[in-house]
Amino acid sequence: MKLEKIAIATGNEHKVEEIRNLLGPLPLIVTGLPPGGEMPAETGNEFRENARIKAQYGFKLTGLPTLADDSGLEVDALQGAPGVHSARYAGEGAGAAANNKKLLQALEGIENRRARFRCSIVLVMDDMSIEADGTCEGIILDGPRGRGGFGYDPLFMLPELGKTMAEISQQEKNAISHRGRAMANLVAALKARGLL
Amino acid sequence: MKLEKIAIATGNEHKVEEIRNLLGPLPLIVTGLPPGGEMPAETGNEFRENARIKAQYGFKLTGLPTLADDSGLEVDALQGAPGVHSARYAGEGAGAAANNKKLLQALEGIENRRARFRCSIVLVMDDMSIEADGTCEGIILDGPRGRGGFGYDPLFMLPELGKTMAEISQQEKNAISHRGRAMANLVAALKARGLL
């Protein structure tokens, strides 16, 4: 019983593109949700919980195996904030620029800049769901660098590469990002279970 | 990777016993949750949702693969009520006698007595969860019959047997009840995936 077609449940167009891209080489038809719906509130305290909420929502809507991710930035000096609130750190709908500004202010004068992106991905099917995680370690800069990516990417320096997440190619990002790693883990789990 | 030990997440001692009984023949160590905890609120609109909430809670608490069920009675003439509210139909903590009384009152003078028990079971593991359902069709009597079972069992007539769910043996119940069928479906799904 192989997967043939899946839906991606997200309100973020950037994520749809990244996930399509990550799934590109696989023999899968990838569809979004029907337009017009509003994504459910992400009320979970953990990335996995929010990914589950979104994937269950998409599964109910489409009847297709549905994949959703939830991801965010954990900053050590901020006790793991913004965490599950990453997308709305500066307020609901405030956007990436405001979030980045708030993060820089919160870290002003602070020496410990260690942080990590985390991603959880959940694939919900009729009688089973599969979950996977990925992380990516880095350093928060004093200001943005690069024009790629989205969200906190321009502030997130990858020490091994000497570049921010906004300065690397999509291909590099797929290989080392939290989302790329979570997806690789999910794909491995699906293959191990004969679903791909 | 076979399952060796699982936890059952429920606040209902009757259910622990029934589930232990159903799992009896399998090479599984079955444990409850550590005492003293309070089960999470069952806020879902569907049996599966509530089963997921309980199983996730138990998994977090124990770190063990955790099984939870949610079940209830759907009465056709009551548009599917009491449904997910079956255990608290007459109010939180009111108990089975009050629930049964309320059901009989709601059906007074109503000819269509068709109803079904539904059960959903969810087994949550670290990176996967498996879900299964079972149903059992019956008729709501005008008054209780039998001393076995619990909940609505004494009012629930099994037409093929001419007995209520409270008049049959545990062994018969395991074979035909909603919970027995859901568990059989779950066990089949676990075996199909090499987990049992």
Which residues in chain B belong to E strands, given as ranges?
5-8, 29-31, 66-75, 114-124, 128-140, 156-158, 163-164
Helices and strands of chain A, counted as H and E runs: 5, 7
**How far is the alpha carbon of B187 from chain A, nearest alpha carbon, in Å?**
12
Reply yes or no on whether the pLDDT at A174 is more than 80. Answer: yes
- For B39, residues 6+ apart whose C-beta sits below 8 A from its C-beta are B9, B10, B11, B54, B57
- Rounded CA-CA distance B174/B186 in Å is 14
HSE of B174 in the Cβ direction (CA atoms, 13 Å)? 13
**Is A104 near chain B, with CB under 8 Å?**
no
Q: What is the mean pLDDT of residues A28-42?
A: 87
For residues B162-191, average pLDDT: 94
Which site among B48, B50, B57, B129 would you substitute to test the A interface, given the most A Cβ atoms closer than 10 Å to its Cβ?
B129
In percent, the amount of chain B with pLDDT more than 90 equals 78
pLDDT at B168: 96
pLDDT tens-digit readout, B109-154: 999 999 999 999 999 999 999 999 999 999 999 999 999 989 999 9
Question: Right CATH number for B5-192 from 3.40.50.720, 2.130.10.10, 3.30.70.2190, 3.90.950.10?
Answer: 3.90.950.10
SS3 state of residue B97: helix
Mapped onto helix, strand or coil, the DSSP state of residue A118 is strand
Query: CA of B185: which chain A residue's CA is closest?
Result: A127
Contacts of A176 (CB under 8 A, 6+ apart): A136, A158, A161, A168
Q: How many CB atoms lie within 10 A of CB A148?
A: 16
Domain residues of chain B, as ranges?
A: 5-192
Mean pLDDT computed over A25-33 = 88
Whether B130 and chain A come into contact, CB under 8 Å, resolves to: yes
Residue A182's CB: how many other CB atoms inside 10 A?
A: 28
The pLDDT tens digits for A62-119 are: 999 999 999 999 999 999 999 999 999 999 989 999 999 999 999 999 999 999 999 9
**Which residues of chain B lie closer than 8 angstroms to A126, CB-CB?**
131
Q: Which is nearest to B103 in space by CA: B85, B125, B128, B121?
A: B85
Asked if A121 and A135 count as a contact pair (C-beta separation under 8 A), the reply is no
Catalytic residue among A70, A133, A142, A153: A70
Query: Are A128 and B131 an interchain contact pair (Cβ–Cβ within 8 Å)?
Result: yes
ipTM: 0.74
* CA–CA distance, B196 with B186 (Å, rounded to integer): 11
Whether A76 is catalytic:
no
Q: Do A127 and B131 touch (CB under 8 A)?
A: yes
